[in-house]
Chain A
Amino acid sequence: MTTITETEVLATQPGAVMRRRTGWVGVALRKLIEAVITLLLVSVCVFFATQIMPGNAAAVLLGTHATPERVAALSQQLGLNDPLLVQYGRWLGGVLHGDFGTSLANGRPVSQLIATPFTNSLFLAAVAVILTLPLSLIAGVVAAQFKDTWIDKTFLGSSMLANALPDFIIGTLLVFFFGTTVFKIFPPVSIIPLGTHPWDFPAKLVLPVATLVIGGVMYLSRLIRVSVIDALSSEYAEMAHLKGISRSRLLFVHALPNALAPAIPAASLVAAFTIGGVVVVEYLFNYPGMGVLLLQSIGARDIPTIQAIVMIIAAIYFVFNFIADLIKVGRD
Chain B
Amino acid sequence: MTALELPVPAAAAAPRRRRPGLRMLRSGQVRWGIALIVLMLALALIGRFTTPYDPTRTIAAPFARPGDGLLLGADYLGRDVLSRVMAGGINLAWMAPSAAIASLVLGAAVGIVSAYFGGATDAVLMRLMDVLLAFPALLFTLLFVSVIGPSPWLLVTLVTIGLMPGVARVIRGAALPLVQREFVRWSRAVGVPTGYILTREILPNLVSPLMVEFGMRLMWSVGTLASISFIGYGIQPPESDWGLMVSENRNGLAAQPWAVVAPVICIVLFTIGGNLIAEGAARVVARTEGVK
Contacts and interface: CB of A to CB of B under 8 A. Distances in A.
A41 B133 CA distance: 12
Given A50-B147, A175-B253, A2 B138 contact: no
A4 B176 contact: yes
B268 A52 contact: no
Contacts of A163: 275
B47 interface: no
Contact of A49 (B131, B143, B243): B143
Contact of B138 (A5, A39, A279): A279
Q: Is the interface of A mostly helix, strand, loop or mixed?
A: helix
B139 A169 contact: no
Contacts of A85: none
A41 B131 contact: yes
A321 B260 contact: no
A275 B135 CA distance: 11
Contacts of B207: none
A276 B138 contact: yes
A169 to B, nearest CB: 6
B139 A276 contact: yes
B110 to A, nearest CB: 15
A1 B267 contact: no
Contacts of A5: 118
Interface stretch (B12-20, B60-68, B81-89, B122-130): B122-130
Given A50-B147, A172-B260, A167 B227 contact: yes
A298 B272 CA distance: 32
A191 interface: no
Contacts of A310: 135, 139, 143
Contacts of A321: 133-134
B179 to A, nearest CB: 10
Contact-size category for A = 35 or more
A42 interface: yes
Contacts of B138: 276-277, 279-280
A314 B134 contact: yes
A102 B127 CA distance: 32
Contacts of A38: 127, 130-131, 134
A280 B275 contact: no
Contacts of A137: none
Given A46-B143, A166-B226, A2 B122 contact: yes
B148 A52 contact: yes
B120 A161 contact: no
Nearest to B134: A318
B80 interface: no
A181 interface: yes
A313 B137 CA distance: 12
A165 B271 contact: yes
B48 interface: no
Interface string A171-206: 011011001110000001000000000000000000
A188 B261 CA distance: 16
A276 B264 CA distance: 22
Given A164-B219, A164-B272, A164-B275, A34 B139 contact: no
Nearest to A38: B130
B147 A53 contact: yes
Contacts of B120: 1
Contacts of A261: none
B112 to A, nearest CB: 15
B237 interface: no
Nearest 9 Cβ contacts at the A-B interface: A276-B136, A166-B223, A164-B275, A298-B146, A318-B134, A180-B254, A164-B271, A41-B131, A53-B147
Given A41-B131, A164-B271, 16 more contacts: A164-B268, A164-B272, A165-B223, A168-B243, A169-B264, A169-B268, A176-B257, A176-B261, A276-B136, A279-B138, A280-B227, A294-B142, A298-B146, A310-B143, A317-B134, A321-B133
13 contacts: A2-B123, A38-B130, A164-B268, A164-B274, A166-B224, A167-B227, A276-B139, A280-B227, A280-B230, A284-B250, A306-B143, A306-B146, A314-B136
Interface of A: 1-2, 4-5, 34, 37-39, 41-42, 45-46, 49-50, 52-53, 160-161, 163-169, 172-173, 175-176, 179-181, 188, 272-273, 275-277, 279-280, 283-284, 294-295, 298, 306, 310, 313-314, 317-318, 321
